[in-house]
Amino acid sequence: MDFALLSWLFVLAVTLHNLEEALSLPTWSRSAGRWHHPVGAREFRFAVAVLTVFAYVAAYLAAVGGKESVGAYLLAGYALAMLLNVFFPHVLATLVMRRYAPGTFTALLLNFPTTVLLLYQGLQEGYVQMHRLAWVGPLVVVGILVAIPVLFAIGRLHPRLRKS
């Protein structure tokens, strides 16, 4: 499978993963303790919707930009974030809490294999270079982590998203 096809499979995996979380994580978060601060459905769904759109934009930019494009590095960085997300918090929370953490199923079944394959093929086909991915990837991860509470706040405060 080539990088171009894996890019879109990755985006599909992210979409399904985010959908699984959007359906059940807000309720779960109320009893998750230190694993997740309670989050309302509206703000959580807004945040995952924006992050899902970001995955599509990154895949599109990688497709049109080609090898070593900004899009290819954004997509690879996003894949790195989702690979780390498989283990923390999903698998770790499920094991420590001894109950299912929403998103663990799709993280293991979909995100893990697609992210590993996407990163591998990206390096093999020259879409990304390891020396650049080594610093761009963590920057994208940090950017996503910083964006999450900001997106939650926007989701809570934006008038169009408020219930009437």
For the chain, list residues with pLDDT below 50: 164
Residues contacting 115, CB < 8 A, separation 6+? 10, 13, 79, 80, 82, 83, 86
pLDDT at 35: 75
| Each residue's pLDDT tens digit, 116-157 | 999 999 999 999 999 999 999 999 999 999 999 999 999 999
Q: Locate tokens 């309302």: which residue?
A: 40
pLDDT at 164: 42
pLDDT at 34: 81
Full residue range of the structural domain in which residue 111 is found: 3-161
Cβ 89 vs Cβ 149: under 8 Å: no
Total structural domains within the chain: 1
Q: Which amino acid is at 62?
A: A
pLDDT at 161: 61
Can you tell me the distance from the alpha carbon of 148 to that of 90, in angstroms, rounded to the nearest whole number? 16
pLDDT at 103: 97
pLDDT at 27: 96
